[in-house]
Amino acid sequence: MRLNRLDLVRYGKFTDRRLDFGPRGEGADLHIVYGPNEAGKSTLFNGFLDLLFGIEARSAYGFLHPYAAMRVGGVVEAGGSAQEVFRVKRAQNTLIDAADRSLPDGLFAAALGGIDRAGYRMMFSLDDDTIEQGGEAILKSEGELGTLLFAASAGLPDTAAALEALKGEAEAFYKPQGRKHQLGELKDVLERLKQERTALDVTARAFKELRRDRDLATETHEQALSARAGLQAALDQCRAAIDALPILARLRAGRAELEAYGDLPEPPSAWFAALPGLMREEAALSSRQVQAEAARARLDGALEGLARDPQALALAPALSALLQDNLEARERAAIQDLPVRQAERQRLMAELAMQRARLGIDDSIPLTKLILPAGEAAHLHALVVQHGKLTERASTAARELQAAEQASARLKRQEPAEAAALPPREIAPPSPDAVEALKQALAAARGSDAGLRRQEAERRREQAAVELTERLALLSPFTGDADALAGLQVPTNEEISAWRLGLASLEEERLRQQSRLGEIETELAADAARAEALAGRGGLVDDAAAAALRAAREAAWQRHASALDSETAQSFRVALMADDEAGASRLAQASDLSRLRDLAEARADRLARRAALGERLAAIAEDKARILAEVGSACATCALEPALTPARLEAWLSRRSEALAARAALQLAERDLDRAAGDEAGLRADLAQGLLPWESASGPGTERLDGLVRRAERLLAELQEAAHAQKAGREAAARAAELLESRRADDAAVRQELEDWAQAWQRALAKAAVLDWLQATSGGAGDVPVPPPAMVLPLITILQEVEALVIRLADLDHRIAAMEADRAAFRARLADLQPMAADAPPLPVLEALRRRVQAAQEAERIAERLAQEEQRLEEDEARLAEDLGRHEALKREMLALFQADSLNEVAAGLDAVKARAQLRQRLADAEDDLCRRLQADRIETAEAQIDALDRHALAEERAALEARLAEAEAQAGEALVARRAAEKALAAVAGSDAAAHLEEQRRTVLAEIETRAIRYLRLRAGILAGEEALRLYRERHRSAMLARASEAFSVISGGDYEGLGSERVKGREVLYARPAGGGTKFAEDLSKGTRFQLYLALRIAGYHETAGFREPLPFIADDIMETFDDRRAGHAFRLMGDMARKGQVIYLTHHEHLCDIARSVCPEVRLHRL
């Protein structure tokens, strides 16, 4: 697959942005996309993924364009054909063509080969984060070769971490020889539930006793509560009577105090709030009256002293108009500037006379004749500059022509000497086809890894043979070879798991049933001991003895009824007395007899359960014997004598699988060795055939492949050197001839340009009329030749200075005339307002007139302000009179009610009225309190009840009630504790609900154990399968892929490391690096940056491995060289160029210097700018 073009129509920050990668050309298909930070490089990559897989549901690139408007497209080449497609964001049919017709969503499924978006990111992209994760993964895996090779090929840097996480999850559930794990905790929960279930088992009689204890405790508690409530009510009544005595005393004292107020009047309630304001208002009104009188006197005095000028006010509009015309400022400026301007005019006239003298002309030529138009002056300046450049070019062209002629002559002299110096070859040069055939054979030998594969296959064969021998030795008592081992009919994992789980389940059930049987035996022994103890008390007649006595009495009666003699009568009497005594004894010991009957019933129940458990144990033994028989049969089939346990059989089968894997590895190594040897022989034959035109007829014989490669390289280097020397000579001669011709053409062109300039110079001088006044100053026409630029340029400078002086003179004349006109207008306007002498200065007159008008205007403003103050004063006097009338009316009313002479006396009367009201309220509250405490309807009744009480008797009664109440509180607390204990004991065994809950919890725990055990077995199987897959992947890909990774790592490090190798450490194949100076470095010994470069080398090797069996997809790298120096960045780009010869590679960066580095190492690279 290849991306020919990407159209970001409406996507992210882009609108109608197209990135054209073009069709694939010859060489490396490497592209660099350069753009500064935030230019949209990441947006480009995500746009490509959205084009292939669809825009994500919650896309982060819909911030500029709404979701409904998002559109990304491009031209994608897959399967040999290019397709222009677009992707839009909607529920379905998101892939369309250029005409908006729907396309199938799986259009690229075949080219992608089942890879989804996440897989593409892992396998065909690389950025700074993933390369750092890859470096850390190398450290975590401790260099394990299979993990690293798989991670590099699949783009999964955390494979080792994932396996470790799965192992951690499995060991968290169960770890052999582990002290703490989840399985042990669940078994502890089962044991606790079992103990709780045992504690719940109780007899029916014990249940009845618990219920009777509960009812008795409840009744006792209720009686205690009732007694406590009665005592509390009596104590509250006694306390209320005692508390009422001081209240009545205060009530009667208050009544006496109320009589002292006599016949105070009842003022309106609003007076209490109004009086303070009225007293403050009285003082404020007095102050306002004094201030109003003072203001009236001040206003009258100001009006009498005011002087007004109506005539000056009449001149104010005309004076204002004069000042607004700015004539005063112009007069003042003219007084200062006019003498200066006149002096400057005289100086300019003197400078113009001096310039005339420099030009050699008199006053008869007007100044306007000396002004040169700007366009003509600029044209003359341009021609002067052009003349200098043409002169320099002519000199340079002459020198270069001379040098080219000398070089051409020198090459012609050297050609015969170089031809004589070439050494003749003994053998005639072969045809180009022979050279090309040799190059192809050499390239095939270089690119092949047949030698490495052969060496690796030999090493693997030896290693596999040793490992197979070791594995077979571990399979004792089996004594056959590997082929016999492979032909065995072994049980499946499901059968073994079923046997092992079945035996474990049966053993667990046997232990559980055995435990229950032991419990029943213990209970039977306990029941027998209790029955023996009851029987040992003496006098206890059980049911059997009572029945025997009754039967003896009936038999004696029958004998006596038949005989009716004294002997039978005595015998009947004895039997009757024995029966009566037994009945009386049983009646007296009814409780013990009831317990004895309960023990008999429980014994019968436990005997029945013991028999059932014995039958179940026998069935379990039969099931175990059957499973062991099946296991023994399977062991016999596998030639294992004596038979193994399921666990040992499973371990033996696991070792058998390892031995078969070693056998398969040996067979694979032998096949790989045969293929590698055949490939190497074919390469040797092709290379020897290619060397035949330069070798003797005897041929290379049995020479090694690497020797043939070195000979072919030397031969091709000699041929290439000779061809380069001949080509360089021809190219040098051609370049010299071409340069000589070019130099001659340049010299002729410069000469022609100088002639054209001379004509243009003469026309420009004539148009500027420079020759006219030159002739006038030199004595007539025809006497002056065409002047050169060196003569004309100083004259142009002087003429430009004259032009500037003329312009300044005209400007000064205009300004002087304007100043004189302004002064005349100002004097005329001022004379209309104020007559004055003709030679009098106008500015003092103007200033005196301005002061007079301002004084008149200020007097008018003062008069208006005083009139406004008089109006406000009259309004204030009216409001003051109104406030005084209202104040006096309210004051007279208050004084009349209290028969007082001032407001202070009224305030004292209001305070007394307020105190009386408060006293009345306190008395009413005390009466209500007494009625409430004594529960009386009227205060008189309450007072009568209090008068009838004895204080000392009440105190004694309260003390007695408090003591009794404390005792009742204690009894109620004890009764509550006993009640709660009885209820708790009964609730613990009430019914069978608690036992059912415990059983349900037990089954839940067993189900959880089963679920987690299955999960544990699956995890262990998956871990073993993953480790085996990594081992097989390592064995299949280690040769070619490790060789490529080794070469890439050496190139990236710039030769600091020779390459990579592997060796077995603690049963694992571990990757290590070989420094150039010798030694070995494992993953933990490498620096962080070197681990990053190692991961990049592995990814490059993985890409080549993937490209070998499927069509490669575009590989996109996003600024992965942040930590690389320029040298290693160049090496990395060279390797990316090799990748780009197999598939498209796109590198995104914001470092512009990387673009130059990429061009230097890979000239075919194409640069795109965002």
Q: Is the pLDDT of residue 5 over 90?
A: yes
Tens digits of per-residue pLDDT, 526-555?
A: 878 877 776 666 656 666 777 887 788 788
Angle at which helices 646-691 and 450-473 cross, to 10°: 160
Tens digits of per-residue pLDDT, 195-220?
A: 776 666 554 456 667 778 788 888 88
What is the rounded distance in angstroms from the CA atom of residue 525 to the CA atom of residue 528?
5
Q: Is the pLDDT of residue 827 over 60?
A: yes
Give which of 331, 487, 380, 343 is closest to 847, Cα–Cα: 331
What is the rounded distance in angstroms from the CA atom of residue 1090 to the CA atom of residue 1099?
14
The residue-averaged pLDDT of 566-579 equals 78
Specify whether 823 is located in the same domain as 790. yes
Give which of 6, 45, 1, 22 is closest to 1119, Cα–Cα: 45
Q: Cβ distance 826 to 334 under 8 Å?
A: no
Any idea which of 125-129, 450-454, 858-862 has the lowest mean pLDDT?
450-454
Number of C-beta neighbours around residue 1129 at 10 A: 22
- CATH for 84: 3.40.50
Which residues make Cβ contacts (< 8 Å) with residue 226, sequence separation at least 6?
Answer: none
Tokens of 582: 């037994």
What is the rounded distance in angstroms from the CA atom of residue 402 to the CA atom of residue 404?
6
Tens digits of per-residue pLDDT, 865-918?
A: 878 887 888 888 788 888 888 877 877 877 777 778 877 877 877 777 788 778
Which of 773-777, 1028-1032, 1060-1064 reaches the highest mean pLDDT? 1060-1064
Predicted local confidence at residue 31, as pLDDT: 93
Specify whether 245 is located in the same domain as 351. no
What is the rounded distance in angstroms from the CA atom of residue 652 to the CA atom of residue 641?
13
What are the φ and ψ backbone dihedral angles of 1075, each rounded to 5 degrees? Answer: -60, 155
Strand partners, 112: none
Better-scored residue on pLDDT, 361 or 402: 402
- The pLDDT-based confidence of 380 (bands split at 50, 70, 90) is confident
Predicted local confidence at residue 1116, as pLDDT: 92
Any idea which of 276-290, 671-685, 818-832 has the lowest mean pLDDT?
818-832
Predicted local confidence at residue 426, as pLDDT: 41
Count Cα atoms within 13 angstroms, Cβ side, for 939: 11
Predicted local confidence at residue 425, as pLDDT: 44
Strand partners, 459: none
What is the rounded distance in angstroms from the CA atom of residue 59 to the CA atom of residue 74?
19
Residue 304 included in any domain: no
- The pLDDT-based confidence of 150 (bands split at 50, 70, 90) is very low
Predicted local confidence at residue 155, as pLDDT: 41
Specify whether 815 is located in the same domain as 796. yes
| The 125-127 sheet, strands edge to edge | 125-127, 1115-1118, 1145-1149, 30-34, 1166-1169
Specify whether 924 is located in the same domain as 939. yes
Residue 227 included in any domain: yes
Q: What is the DSSP string of 541-560?
A: --HHHHHHHHHHHHHHHHHH
Average pLDDT score, the chain: 77
Residue 1057 included in any domain: yes
Predicted local confidence at residue 1114, as pLDDT: 92
What is the rounded distance in angstroms from the CA atom of residue 252 to the CA atom of residue 389?
134
Residue 1158 included in any domain: yes
Better-scored residue on pLDDT, 903 or 775: 903
Q: Is the pLDDT of residue 422 over 50?
A: no
The residue-averaged pLDDT of 960-983 equals 82
Angle at which helices 145-154 and 128-140 cross, to 10°: 160
What pTM did the predictor assign?
0.35
Which residues make Cβ contacts (< 8 Å) with residue 1133, sequence separation at least 6?
Answer: 30, 1147, 1154, 1157, 1158, 1161, 1162, 1165
Q: Is the pLDDT of residue 651 over 90?
A: no
Any idea which of 4-13, 482-491, 751-760 has the lowest mean pLDDT?
482-491
Q: Cβ distance 1139 to 1103 under 8 Å?
A: yes
What is the rounded distance in angstroms from the CA atom of residue 1049 to the CA atom of residue 1055?
9
Predicted local confidence at residue 993, as pLDDT: 59
Specify whether 465 is located in the same domain as 518. no
Tens digits of per-residue pLDDT, 454-463?
A: 777 788 888 8
Predicted local confidence at residue 292, as pLDDT: 81
Domain boundary among 989, 1012, 1038: 989
The residue-averaged pLDDT of 724-737 equals 73
Q: Is the pLDDT of residue 468 over 50?
A: yes
Specify whether 51 is located in the same domain as 4. yes
Specify whether 1003 is located in the same domain as 1066. yes
Predicted local confidence at residue 782, as pLDDT: 47
- The pLDDT-based confidence of 159 (bands split at 50, 70, 90) is low
- The pLDDT-based confidence of 1144 (bands split at 50, 70, 90) is very high
What are the φ and ψ backbone dihedral angles of 19, each rounded to 5 degrees? Answer: -120, 110
Specify whether 503 is located in the same domain as 522. yes
Specify whether 94 is located in the same domain as 148. no
Predicted local confidence at residue 700, as pLDDT: 46
Residue 297 included in any domain: no
Question: Would the CA dihedral through 252, 253, 258, 259 be positive or negative?
Answer: positive
Predicted local confidence at residue 369, as pLDDT: 65
Domain boundary among 727, 749, 767: 767
What is the rounded distance in angstroms from the CA atom of residue 138 to the CA atom of residue 155?
13
The residue-averaged pLDDT of 1025-1031 equals 66
Tens digits of per-residue pLDDT, 1096-1133?
A: 888 888 888 777 777 888 999 988 888 788 888 888 99
Q: How many domains does the chain have?
A: 8
Predicted local confidence at residue 540, as pLDDT: 63
The percentage of residues in the chain with a pLDDT greater than 90, rounded to a whole number, is 4
What is the rounded distance in angstroms from the CA atom of residue 35 to the CA atom of residue 33?
7
Chain Cα centroid distance, residue 538 = 87
Which of 43-47, 114-118, 526-530, 973-977 reaches the highest mean pLDDT? 43-47
- The pLDDT-based confidence of 418 (bands split at 50, 70, 90) is low
Residue 306 included in any domain: no
Specify whether 454 is located in the same domain as 547. no
Residue 1155 included in any domain: yes
Predicted local confidence at residue 178, as pLDDT: 63
Q: Is the pLDDT of residue 161 over 90?
A: no
Taking the alpha carbons at both ends of the chain, their separation in whole angstroms is: 23
Better-scored residue on pLDDT, 839 or 931: 931
What is the rounded distance in angstroms from the CA atom of residue 114 to the CA atom of residue 109?
6
Domain boundary among 556, 572, 588: 588
Q: Is the pLDDT of residue 970 over 80?
A: yes
Q: Is the pLDDT of residue 419 over 80?
A: no
Q: Is the pLDDT of residue 427 over 70?
A: no
Which of 158-167, 240-249, 353-362, 826-835 reaches the highest mean pLDDT? 240-249
- The pLDDT-based confidence of 585 (bands split at 50, 70, 90) is low
Predicted local confidence at residue 140, as pLDDT: 62
Question: Would the CA dihedral through 1047, 1052, 1057, 1062 be positive or negative?
Answer: negative
Residue 266 included in any domain: no
Specify whether 657 is located in the same domain as 599. no
- The pLDDT-based confidence of 697 (bands split at 50, 70, 90) is very low
Q: Is the pLDDT of residue 73 over 90?
A: yes
Predicted local confidence at residue 88, as pLDDT: 92
Domain carrying residue 924: 204-260+912-989
Specify whether 499 is located in the same domain as 629. yes
